[in-house]
Copies of this chain bind each other. A is one copy, B any other.
């Protein structure tokens, strides 16, 4: 049985975002993402075949959803349930300390 702490085992230095699968079965994948002032590349949009429920566990981030006038400023505890094919991108994450996400990819 896997277990752990989402706030632990954070590398001091991260040149790229860190993606770790915590659980997976059928069409579901649960992962931890650690960002260190990372953002989606200029002009890049995630366009995913599955829904994504994303929880900001620690830190801060700015999430842009295609079709929305304003980006969303996320803080600890904020979640967004992003439907499949809803294009989105991360405009920025906190430059001070790490930003930790829990993402659940599900459905189709």
| A contact set with B: CB distance below 8 Å | 1-8, 22-23, 25-28, 30, 51, 53, 55, 57, 65, 72, 75-83, 86, 102, 104, 106-108
Residue of B nearest to A30 (CB): B53
In the A-B complex, list the 3 residue pairs whose CB atoms are closest, starting with the nearest.
A25-B107, A7-B77, A28-B106
Given contacts A102-B102, A106-B106, contact A65 B22 (CB under 8 A): no
Most B CB contacts (10 A, CB to CB) among A25, A75, A104 go to A25
Q: Which residues of B contact A25 (CB under 8 A)?
A: 51, 106-107
The smallest C-beta distance from A26 to any residue of chain B, in angstroms, reads 5
What are 14 of the A-B contact pairs (CB < 8 Å)?
A: A2-B80, A3-B72, A4-B78, A4-B79, A5-B75, A6-B77, A6-B78, A8-B77, A26-B108, A27-B28, A30-B53, A30-B81, A57-B57, A102-B102
